[in-house]
Structure formats: C-alpha cells, structure tokens
Structure 1
Amino acid sequence: MHQDLSGRVALITGAGAGIGRETALQMAARGAIVCVNDLKEELVAPVVDDIRTRGGQAFGAPVNIASREGMREAIQRAFAHAQRLDILVNNAAWVRYQAIPEIMPETIERMLDVGFKSVIWSLQEAVAVMDPQRGGSIVNVASVAALRSAANSVVYSGIKAGILGITRAAAAELGPRNIRVNAVCPSAVPTEGTQRNRNAERDANRIARTPLGRLGTVQDIARSICFLASDEASFMTAQALTVDGGITLTNI
C-alpha cells in the first residue's frame, strides 16, 4: 500500500538522522512537502538536499524544539511555507539509559524537554494552525519500552509511557477538530543514535526472541508512520501501533 500524501505539508522533528530522516524521505516520496527539523543546519541540509535530489519537495527548520518557543518557531516555519500544516511527527528525543542511582537531574530535564514537553508544546501550536475542515494527523514516536521495560530505563520508559497517555488524551480533545493523534511504538531499531546501547550479543538475543527473526529497520517504522498520517488510517485515533516483529506480546 503506497499512501498518497500529495500536497500535504508535514513537519518531522528530529529528522536529521534515523527514523526521522527515513520518515522525511518516505513522506516526500509519497508527495508530501516536508519540513525537516533538527538542531542544526548541518543536520537538516543533507536531508533536504537528498529529498530534492530524488524529486521531492522539502525545506528546513533548524530549530531546537526542546522549548515552547522553539517548537512554536518550527511549526510557524512549516505553516508559513504553504499556509497549511497537515501532518506533525513528534520524533525528536534525547536518550540516556542509566541505573537508578546514577540518574542526575540534568539528565531527566533534558530528556523531558526534548522527548516529552516538546510534544505538549507541539499540540498547542498545531491546534492553532491545523484547519478543522481539512483536518490533520499527529504521530508521536513512542517505544515498546512504554509497554514492557528493561533495567536501566526508568526515565526513558516513563517518558515513552507518558507519550502514550498524551496521545490518548489529545485524541479525545482534538477529535472534534478533525485532528487525529496516534503513536507508533518501535522495538530496537539500529540507528546512529542507538549505537551506544547496542552490541552483537544484545542484537542476537533480541533477534532470537523476535518471532519474525530480525531487528526492525528505520524503513519499517517510517512506513508505519506514513500509514498513520495518511487517509488510509482516517478512522484511527488514540492508537499505539506496535511495530516490533512480535517481540512484545509473544515473550511474556
């Protein structure tokens, strides 16, 4: 199924690498006009160039969305391009896995700013610009850690579980405005950002416990995000779509 996103304007946070980058590429391939957000121009520009080289439409918003003001600026830049915003993907995160005695206040604050508070600020700003007649779709990137957690992930698991709570509550509140809010819950996916927490032994263990016998890919997750953002999912809201090869519900 190749979801048609022609003419839609999509803002993707944390799109300079990993799942965010692949989502930007796939949405552009489906016809969306993509606003690529990340911290710095050197992260944003290569993704914009890649999309344009492939014949897609894209522009950049190198803004730190960890503050309310930063998120407002990113959404305003996206809206200003075509006077509309149809899709918002809250993908940005800053992650540290630590044992409970090692957790420091600055770690919690940064993880909350980037991965939790920014989602709330994005909802505020999206409501202001998404047209109730056309509607809109918001996809929050959560994790299977919101459903089943491991050691050394208290802050991460708590934030991702919170994202699912935000998703459900926002779906209830924004449904009358024709704005759908869903989440995607990936399992472990090899990306630039997850390298420090992966090794061959861990990967082999995960693969052995996964019914489909492999790790997920950024392509797997991006396709799911595109589906949730598209009209193919027009009667889906408040959902948490688990994309994990079956590992969460078959190893209990």
Structure 2
Amino acid sequence: MSESAECLAIVTGAGRGIGRATALRLAEDGFRVIVVDRDPGNADHVAGEIRNHGGMAEPRVLDVTDRAAVRKEYAGVVEQYGRIDALVNNAIWLKYAPLVDFDESLVDGMFAIGIKAVLWGMQAVVPTMTAAGVGAIVNLSSPAAFRGGPGTSVYSTVKGAVTSLTTQAAVELGPLGIRVNAIIPGSIPTEGARQHVSNATYAARGDSVPLRRNGTPEDIADGIAYLLSPRAAYVNGHLLAVDGGYLVS
C-alpha cells in the first residue's frame, strides 16, 4: 500500500474524538477518507474540514451494527472508487456501571457496536482487499482489555474480544495480504469519554503514567497512521500501546 492520493480509507466513528483526528491525519497522508458516523452533522463537518485543507473525503451516515447496511455501503464505495485499502474500526459506545447493574439492553448495545460492528466491517472489506492482494485493518483495543477497573466489566469484555479478534484475523487474513493490527489508546480525554470520566479523574490519570500526561486524539491518530503505512508493511497481529507507558507501569 502506498501513501498516495489513490488510496482509500474508511474510518468509523469519525465524527469526533479519535475518529476525527484519525480521518484528518490519514487525509494528510494522502488517503481519500470515507468519514463514517451515525451523526450526519458530525460526518459532514469532518469531511468538510478535510476538504477545506485540500484533502479528499466524503461523509457516510451508517449504522455499523447493521451487517447488511455495512456490506451495502462498503460495496458502494468499491463500486464508486474501485478499492478499499484501509479500515479503521473506531466506533464505540460505552457505559460504566457495577457488574450487577448491567441489563440486557446495555450489554447488547455495547456488544453490537463494540464487537459485532468490528466483525461486520472486516467481513465487508476482506473481498476487495483479497482481490487486490493487499490491505490493512486497525481495530481499537484498550488498556481495559488487560487491566480491570471499577465499572468496566462489559467494556473490558468488549475490548478483550476485539483484541482476540485482531490477533486471530491477523493469522487468517495475513496469507491474503491483509494486515490486521490494533491500537491501545491510553487516557485520552475526548468529548465522548468526558461524559463518563471527570476532570479530576483525568488529572489523576495523567499524573500516574510514566510520561506524566494524558494523551491526545492526535497521538492515537499518529499510531494508527503508522500501522496503515508502508513503514509497517511487516507488522501484523501487533497490539500497539499508545498510552504514555501506562501498561508497563
């Protein structure tokens, strides 16, 4: 895969936070970016940002939990542009609560966006990547897959599943020329995350990691951009922690 204007990347949950930063960064690297989000206003805004900076992007409003809709939408991308070179499965919905308080609707919702949507996205891009003999997928894992915390039982389960799916897919899809890796973001105060984590908690998190700061969406976008780039051509099945050293502290 080359970093040329001919390459195309799909980023889910790209309307804000890490997804937005990733879409902007990949556009800087020369990708045409399909900005996927369930909120049409956010998708339009990010695609507009990219175009205003001279990049190529278009918004797509999509429910990534709907397998048939994902297949149809991504097939439409292939029909229009003839390729999908990269997929970033970033979309997530989370809820922190004591383990005993999770009801079926919350669990189903988190599993649908956090696990099923990742699988549906991968299924939808594999045929065109296989035909091309090359492709790259980056999934979003989390330190919660490796370390427990108060209220994170279902979120940890979701990210543990994504982590396992990533390594399994790397083995299965590698012979087809498709690389599958995951990024492990550290403490990143995004708009969505701030709905669940207080400023005081973020301050404490930043002070506790070896680099003594919280990360930014751009830090994570840089890691994703690397995993999708030719510089990572021999990187497959890797879990890249961009966390200031949290997991090793």
Moved more, 106-115 or 198-207: 198-207
Secondary structure at the aligned position of 1:150 is classed as: coil
- 1:243 paired to 2:246: no
Moved more, 190-199 or 91-100: 190-199
Give SS of 1:192's match.
coil
Please, what TM-score do these two structures have when normalized by structure 1? 0.95
Give distance in 2, aligned partners of 1:154 and 1:182.
Answer: 23
- Runs ≥4 residues deviating over 6 A: none
Determine helix, strand or coil for the equivalent of 2:222: helix
What's 1:10 paired with? 9
The corresponding residue for 2:157 is 158
CA–CA distance in structure 1, aligned partners of residues 4 and 245 of structure 2:
28
Q: What is the distance in 2 between the residues matched to 1:115 and 1:80?
A: 27
Residues 117, 146 of structure 1: CA spacing in aligned structure 2 closer, same or farther, 3 A cutoff?
A: same
Query: 1:191-222 CA distances to partner (integer Å, 9 max, x unpaired)?
Result: 11011222232122112211111001000000
Distance 1:148 1:167 in 2: 18
How far does the alpha carbon of each residue in 1:221-251 deviate from its partner, in whole angstroms, 9 at most, with x for none? 000001001111000111110110001111x
The equivalent residue for 1:124 is 123
Aligned to 1:45: 44
Post-superposition offset of 1:5:
4.7
Aligned partners of 1:149, 1:55: CA distance in 2, in Å? Answer: 43
Shift of residue 187, structure 1, vs aligned partner:
1.3
Identity between Structure 1 and Structure 2 (%): 36
- The residue type equivalent to 2:217 in the other structure is V
Q: Partners in 2 of 1:51 and 1:121 — Cα distance?
A: 26
- Give aligned pairs, total: 248
Task: Indicate whether 1:202 and 2:223 are aligned.
Answer: no
Structure 1 stretch 123-132 or stretch 50-59: which is displaced more?
123-132
**Contact between 1:168 and 1:238, CA under 8 Å: does it hold in 2?**
yes
Q: CA deviation at 1:131?
A: 4.1
Question: Structure 2-normalised TM-score?
Answer: 0.96
2:170 aligned counterpart, secondary structure: helix
SS of residue in 1 equivalent to 2:220: helix
Equivalent residue for 1:226?
225
Preserved CA contact (<8 Å) 1:11 1:34: yes
